[in-house]
A and B are shown apart, each in its own frame.
Chain A
């Protein structure tokens, strides 16, 4: 209902008499939604107080903020403070709603509740369903600890980018298991041999990931202290062993949904 109102006000040339009640109702709904988002996300006691009062973070009510400023702070955060950027932590409608709510705390009775109200940060994120949604959960499931894909890969805004960005999704679970990993070499340092992913070899230091066990360890060594040779006994199939075929298939569905070739 709310979204249809937004579309109406944004895209449809409607007689003023019709659009105003719809807008007013829409603004009220969005602000109410924003209050709920604020209560759950911002008024957490250790951060902002309820209704924008003072608490572990600054008071937000009656500060004379305009909506552009609120939008900037919410979406980009504040440098050198605990105020994070929420552009990737809230959905676009929740971002718009919470910005509108904080605007009302600052005397703006009729805040902009269009998607433009959240500034540039609102981007369209794919809505995942079915197997892709299941794959998204499996990709970074906390209960798997370091045995999850996100220990080494970043996708959809989560994960640690140890491996190069995923550019091509294997066609099948069989392909995923048989994945060739020519970038993984064998490093020798201090009499110890280990599978490595080399990041850089400069004059001052050599930087590489030690893949002996999960999680990978980024190590820095003096040039000459470590030697690399092509090839390794390391296999991608051994680090994804905690997933069954059905789970791997769901993860591939997820990656197809979020990775643009």
Chain B
């Protein structure tokens, strides 16, 4: 593994640059899924800080009434109004100071013949509209003021593609852009952009290049048709560079590559493009500008589909417009976001057996690959050293805050043929806990410049909620037992905790209304997929579902 050459750590706890601090921060509003389009999940509000966080108390709560699954959504706050979506796409506009309902819109129930998990990670707000994706694969636009349906457009036939939308869409200029699921089935992933005003298709970018397109040659035979790569989370955007950044999903079949990779292929770079990659696209046209593949020939289900964090920092004496990107393996790339140039990488899990290491220029070494007729133990698991729940970045500390899980799986591949829209993981992969440990997750603070871990707070179960960082030098997140807590961003000391009554699998935000700062967190444990997998490893635990937003503030008059 390569770390960056030692750079003075005196930059810690200082403002990195005035410009860098401003662009990625939020203030009164929380306008985007990742806070700002730079995906820092960092609020510049500091009314709630390390000295007074112990007084934090609930200001209001909102029970959504949709208890089919948990509340995963990142609330969006614009001009004192919060926009919240539930697992089954019940959308609410709430007074962000009181929780009073302004309007609500209930998307019609999706027929049970539509395959896919129930869940929705958020709306996007822009152009006077509230946008969201659905399980039956529609993009929907509501009037931001009234909640009335303005338009809806089908993205794909969910029954055929086995794909859905669970990610929050992203508004960039006059377009609303969204990725989809389905990359663990026989499906060819894509990102789609619609015109915000009319709903008409603007562009679609397929993760897997078609015949005649560059990169198509990295696929064997017809495997490109169903090769996965679904970019199932939300991207980032740099307005100055006019570049859209997105992480793409794993190649399919997940654990069996014989159908998609030629015998003797060079796996040191660019296999099955553009799966398990970070890509930069022109948001106006959907054209690819550059790519960086993190896991060539992904045979471990290590999606790269997570958030792309855009930061400006000095690397080896030179200011760089960089990005930091954690993928499921926990291998975290640092790239120049103008060109895609590799600047360095670090690995966040403590137990790692999928590779032995990486070279100075980012190549994987000592791949521990599944093989037919064998069962191999691989750490981290396909649930990820980090799941989809986001990191946060504070420009005050210069740290990336990462929720890391230590789980492993025993992979036994199989060779079922591709069947469009049906499961195409091609492997059994029961989960297990690594031996010799008493804690199985940790909140880490990583310096993306040095690639060093500054501090780590261990936790005995798993951490599957997003991080929130604030200028009060606080980092907030929640655990499956229901505790929502604040850590000192500088050293990881736990400063405050509140039992919310249900497990955490969502994304907290901060905002202010009339000068009062709020911290809002969705609650409710995830009863399927990774949440259920993790729960099955701790059979004595009973992590509770729910769908309640809990909003905290300092007591009135105490400010």
Which residues of A line the B interface, CB within 8 A? 39-41, 43-47, 49-50, 53-58, 76-85, 87-89, 140, 142-143, 145-146, 150-151, 157-160, 205, 210, 212-220
Contacts and interface: CB of A to CB of B under 8 A. Distances in A.
B488 interface: no
B113 interface: yes
A57 B533 CA distance: 8
B116 to A, nearest CB: 7
A144 to B, nearest CB: 11
Given A39-B414, A44-B184, A217 B151 contact: yes
Interface string B463-480: 000000000000000000
B145 interface: no
Interface in B390-439: 414, 416, 420, 422-423, 425, 427-431
Nearest to A137: B420
Given A82-B116, A218-B153, 15 more contacts: A40-B416, A45-B429, A45-B533, A46-B530, A50-B428, A55-B536, A56-B532, A76-B112, A88-B113, A159-B157, A213-B201, A217-B199, A218-B152, A219-B198, A220-B150
A40 B530 CA distance: 19
A53 B539 CA distance: 13
Q: Which of A46, A55, A146 has the most CB of B within 10 A?
A: A46
B200 A217 contact: yes
Contacts of B187: 142
A250 B407 CA distance: 51
A141 to B, nearest CB: 10
Contact of B430 (A49, A88, A159, A210): A49
B166 to A, nearest CB: 11
Nearest to A157: B159
B121 to A, nearest CB: 15
A53 to B, nearest CB: 7
B188 interface: yes
A143 B161 CA distance: 11
A79 B112 contact: yes
B338 interface: no
A142 B155 CA distance: 12
Contacts of A41: 422-423
A215 B153 contact: yes
A255 B201 CA distance: 28
Interface string B528-544: 11111100100000000
B527 to A, nearest CB: 8
Contact of A80 (B118, B159, B161, B225): B118
A160 B420 CA distance: 17
B200 A84 contact: no
Contacts of B117: 46, 82
Interface string B59-81: 00000000111000000000000
Contact of B153 (A45, A50, A217): A217
A64 B116 CA distance: 26
A49 B529 CA distance: 11
A84 B114 contact: yes
Contacts of A145: 204
B501 to A, nearest CB: 20
Nearest to A76: B112
B460 interface: no
B210 interface: yes
Contacts of B204: 145
A46 B160 contact: no
A41 B112 CA distance: 16
Contacts of A46: 117, 184, 425, 529-530, 533
Contacts of A89: 113, 115, 159, 422
B199 A210 contact: yes
B382 interface: yes
B491 interface: no
Interface string B228-253: 00000000000000000000000000
A140 B160 contact: yes
Given A45-B425, A215-B201, A220 B160 contact: no
Given A45-B428, A56-B528, A57-B528, A142 B188 contact: yes
A178 B544 CA distance: 59
Interface of B: 67-69, 88, 111-118, 148-155, 157, 159-161, 184, 187-188, 198-201, 204, 210, 225, 382, 414, 416, 420, 422-423, 425, 427-431, 527-533, 536
A95 B288 CA distance: 43
A85 B428 contact: no
Contacts of B148: 205, 220
A47 B200 CA distance: 35
Contact of A146 (B112, B201, B428): B201
A140 B150 CA distance: 28
A62 to B, nearest CB: 15
Contact of A55 (B115, B159, B184, B430): B430
Given A53-B430, A81-B118, A88 B425 contact: no
A75 to B, nearest CB: 10
A76 B429 CA distance: 27
A193 to B, nearest CB: 13
B199 A219 contact: yes
Contact of A40 (B111, B198, B225, B423): B423
A150 B160 contact: yes
A56 B429 CA distance: 11
Contacts of A158: 157, 159-160
A84 B150 contact: no
A186 B261 CA distance: 50
Contacts of A55: 430-431, 532-533, 536
- Which has the most chain A C-beta neighbours within 10 Å: B157, B225, B527? B157
A56 B430 contact: no
5 contacts: A39-B428, A78-B112, A140-B157, A146-B201, A218-B199
Contacts of B225: 142-143
A202 to B, nearest CB: 13
Contacts of B200: 210, 212-213, 217
B201 A77 contact: no
A85 B199 contact: no
Contact of B150 (A56, A150, A219): A219
B528 A81 contact: yes
